[in-house]
Amino acid sequence: MQLKENRLLKNLAYLNGEWTAAREGSTFRVCNPYDGSLLAEVADLGEEETCRTIELARQAQVQWAGKSAGHRSRILRRWHDLILEHTDDLALILTSEQGKPLAEAVGEIRYGASFVEWYAEEAKRAYGDVIPAHGSDKRITILKQPVGVVAAITPWNFPVAMVTRKVAPALAVGCSVILKPADATPLSALALAVLAHEAGFPPGVFNVITTTWAKEVGKLFCTSPLVRKLSFTGSTAVGKELMRQCATTVKKLSLELGGNAPFIVFDDADLPAAVQGAIESKYRNGGQTCVCANRIYVQAGIYERFVAEFAAATQELKLGDGRLAETDLGPLINKAALEKVEQLVDDACAKGARALTGGHSSTLGGYFYAPTVLTDVNHTMDIHQAEIFGPVAPIFRFETEADAIRAANDTRAGLAAYFYGRDYARIWRVAEALEFGMVGINTGMISTAVAPFGGIKESGFGREGSFYGLDDYLEVKYLCWGGIEPTPAG
Ligand SMILES: NC(=O)C1=CN([C@@H]2O[C@H](COP(=O)(O)OP(=O)(O)OC[C@H]3O[C@@H](n4cnc5c(N)ncnc54)[C@H](OP(=O)(O)O)[C@@H]3O)[C@@H](O)[C@H]2O)C=CC1
Ligand SMILES: O=C(O)CCCC(=O)O
């Protein structure tokens, strides 16, 4: 990897302000999903290092919370500026370990930095309240205080943005953070830690534990009484397990879990815009995004035209090495991801679906799957309920608005939904009826630091981004003041 500044490529964990090897020198391999080439051998930490880090993070948190909001804000701002200053190197690290095209990686660095900027500003606005009291001799004030030590577990699909989206609000309000990034993509998190160190966060305030012992480290996070909050982004199955474990310490939780986004196109939609929105929403990050369109529903009157144009646009997409400018789609993250996509498409085709394009792994080999458009899809197929996490677009036909809403809501997930149409009254009806935490109306791109990202139902709870995102890291404390004599007469 040819970086401008090699100091950004780290293979040690970052604990209490120090670069730390595993106690017995154990390491794990981080490879490029494009060609399997080795990028780094990274320290593989275990339970002992995790316990020590939790204790140090607690000590650091007390000091950090005692600093002024303005002080924390200035350090966050420096971190933001350093991230942007090193966009090219951070994007190359990201693409090398994750596989997404460089242009998307650059977009993710900017998106990731925008959370740091947003919360550098919000740090100063964690206001409390004064409430009219229930007695004339009483006063009520409300303090917002940091929850304490936060553990964050992040996935491989957005190795930068998922980190900053959790870490920035937590640090802004005076929490300390122990981050466990996915073992497929620890290098981006470590590069962020290099820049956090340079920005001036005190030792122990931000820590990165690199490990292949996700289950064991996760359990320690959940069961430690010193960790007061867990924020997790990843699969629904793991999220449920963490929720069970967190019951032992009644820990505050944010869960951002799997989605199954419907993308509905009504007859009166602007067709080119709907096709463009569907391409963006479906194929972003090769389909490996929890808000990717997972099921495309098209009304009968526009169905044939939409399918033809969407399939033609899909055929134009170029698979390849994310580091090359002409690449639109990189590989899937690993063999298991490829096999999952293959199984879903095979199951659908065995039950009568038709692949208009793709329908098989790519001739490039490795973890590449050909961008695929499936028609004649129905609700008996596994692909209807599964989070595909790959470049496969199943297209369903529907007749009425009620049919579309019923089908869209027929899932235990509730993260994102999208629809295209022009009728003003219907836009309101459909937006209100969709059981999802986020709804894109005539747009396939909804992600921004200034809006609350999060789901309902089995997609989890908690919100990331915007002023709502601050509350996930704050406790409300009610102060009741008694014995306040009335103003003396005269
Ligand atoms: N909502 C979202 O954004 C995401 C959804 N997914 C969904 O999940 C599927 C599988 O992806 P996968 O990477 O396996 O997702 P996981 O849920 O397994 O991984 C997400 C994070 O959780 C960690 N983890 C895994 N098991 C445990 C555990 N028992 N306790 C604590 N932490 C744990 C992982 O560590 P490590 O990687 O080191 O094992 C990683 O850091 C995808 O196909 C997709 O459907 C996946 C990623 C993101
Ligand atoms: O898949 C995810 O959880 C990350 C969503 C990226 C985004 O913010 O759009």
Q: What percent of the chain lies above the pLDDT cut of 90? A: 98
Q: What was the pLDDT predicted at 459?
A: 98
- Distance from the alpha carbon of residue 426 to the mean position of ligand 2, in angstroms: 28
Residue 375 has pLDDT above 80, yes or no: yes
Query: Can you tell me the mean pLDDT for 79-88?
Result: 98
Which ligand is located closest to the Cα atom of residue 246? 1
Kindly report, as residue ranges, where domains of CATH 3.40.309.10 are found in the chain: 261-410+416-441
Q: Which residues line ligand 1 (CB under 6 A)?
A: 153-157, 180, 182-184, 214-215, 218, 233-235, 238, 241-242, 256-258, 290, 337, 387, 389
Query: Can you tell me the mean pLDDT for 157-178?
Result: 98
Name the pTM for this structure: 0.98
Q: Say whether the ipTM exceeds 0.90.
A: yes
For the beta carbon of residue 265, count every other beta carbon within 10 angstroms. Answer: 29
- Best of 283, 289, 387 for a ligand 2 pocket test (most atoms within 8 Å of beta carbon): 289
State how far the Cα of 464 lies from the Cα of 154, in Å rounded to an integer.
13
Average pLDDT for the chain: 97
Question: What does the DSSP 8-state code read for residue 6?
Answer: G
Dihedral Cα 446, 426, 257, 231, nearest 10 deg? 60
- Distance from the alpha carbon of residue 154 to the mean position of ligand 1, in angstroms: 8
Topology at the third CATH level for domain 6-258+454-477: Aldehyde Dehydrogenase; Chain A, domain 1 (3.40.605)
- Distance from the alpha carbon of residue 290 to the mean position of ligand 2, in angstroms: 6
- Do the Cβ atoms of 436 and 455 come closer than 8 Å? yes
Residue 71 has pLDDT above 70, yes or no: yes
Which ligand is located closest to the Cα atom of residue 239? 1
- Distance from the alpha carbon of residue 289 to the mean position of ligand 2, in angstroms: 5
Q: Which residues line ligand 2 (CB under 6 A)?
A: 157-158, 161-162, 233, 256, 289-291, 447, 453
Kindly report, as residue ranges, where domains of CATH 3.40.605.10 are found in the chain: 6-258+454-477
Which ligand is located closest to the Cα atom of residue 185? 1
- Which residue would you say has higher pLDDT here, 354 or 379? 354
Residue 486 has pLDDT above 90, yes or no: no
Nearest CA to ligand 1 atom 34: 182
Which ligand is located closest to the Cα atom of residue 258? 1
Ramachandran category for residue 306: left, alpha or beta (phi over 0 → left; psi -120 to 50 → alpha):
alpha
Residue 83 has pLDDT above 80, yes or no: yes
Q: Which band of pLDDT confidence, cut at 50, 70 and 90, is reported for residue 383? A: very high
State how far the Cα of 373 lies from the Cα of 377, in Å rounded to an integer.
10
Strand, coil or helix: 32:
coil
- Best of 98, 232, 238 for a ligand 1 pocket test (most atoms within 8 Å of beta carbon): 238
Dihedral Cα 324, 329, 333, 339, nearest 10 deg? -140
Would you state the structure tokens that stand for residue 210, as one six-digit string?
A: 């690199």
Query: Can you tell me the mean pLDDT for 476-484?
Result: 97
Catalytic amino acids?
256
Beta strands in 7-117 (DSSP E): 13-15, 18-20, 27-31, 38-43
Q: What was the pLDDT predicted at 139?
A: 97
Nearest atom in ligand 2 to the alpha carbon of residue 284 is 9
Q: What was the pLDDT predicted at 301?
A: 98
- Distance from the alpha carbon of residue 232 to the mean position of ligand 1, in angstroms: 9
- Distance from the alpha carbon of residue 106 to the mean position of ligand 2, in angstroms: 15
Nearest atom in ligand 1 to the alpha carbon of residue 256 is 1
- Distance from the alpha carbon of residue 306 to the mean position of ligand 2, in angstroms: 26
Strands 293-299 and 392-398: parallel
Contacts of 489 (CB under 8 A, 6+ apart): none
List, as own/partner pairs, every contact residues 51-54 make where C-beta atoms lie below 8 angstroms and the sequence separation is at least 24, other chains included.
51/220, 51/224, 52/15, 53/15, 53/16, 53/178, 53/207, 53/209, 54/149, 54/178, 54/220, 54/221, 54/224, 54/226, 54/227
Report the CATH superfamily, name and number, of domain 261-410+416-441. Answer: Aldehyde Dehydrogenase; Chain A, domain 2 (3.40.309.10)
pLDDT tens for each residue of 301-344? 999 999 999 999 999 999 999 999 999 999 999 999 999 999 99
Query: Can you tell me the mean pLDDT for 144-170?
Result: 98
Q: What percent of the chain lies above the pLDDT cut of 70? A: 100
Query: Can you tell me the mean pLDDT for 117-125?
Result: 95
Nearest atom in ligand 2 to the alpha carbon of residue 446 is 9
Q: Which band of pLDDT confidence, cut at 50, 70 and 90, is reported for residue 490? A: low
pLDDT tens for each residue of 216-231? 999 999 999 999 999 9
State how far the Cα of 214 lies from the Cα of 219, in Å rounded to an integer.
8
Nearest CA to ligand 1 atom 8: 235
Residue 488 has pLDDT above 90, yes or no: no
- Best of 235, 255, 367, 382 for a ligand 1 pocket test (most atoms within 8 Å of beta carbon): 235
Nearest atom in ligand 2 to the alpha carbon of residue 289 is 1
Residue corresponding to tokens 């899937």: 332
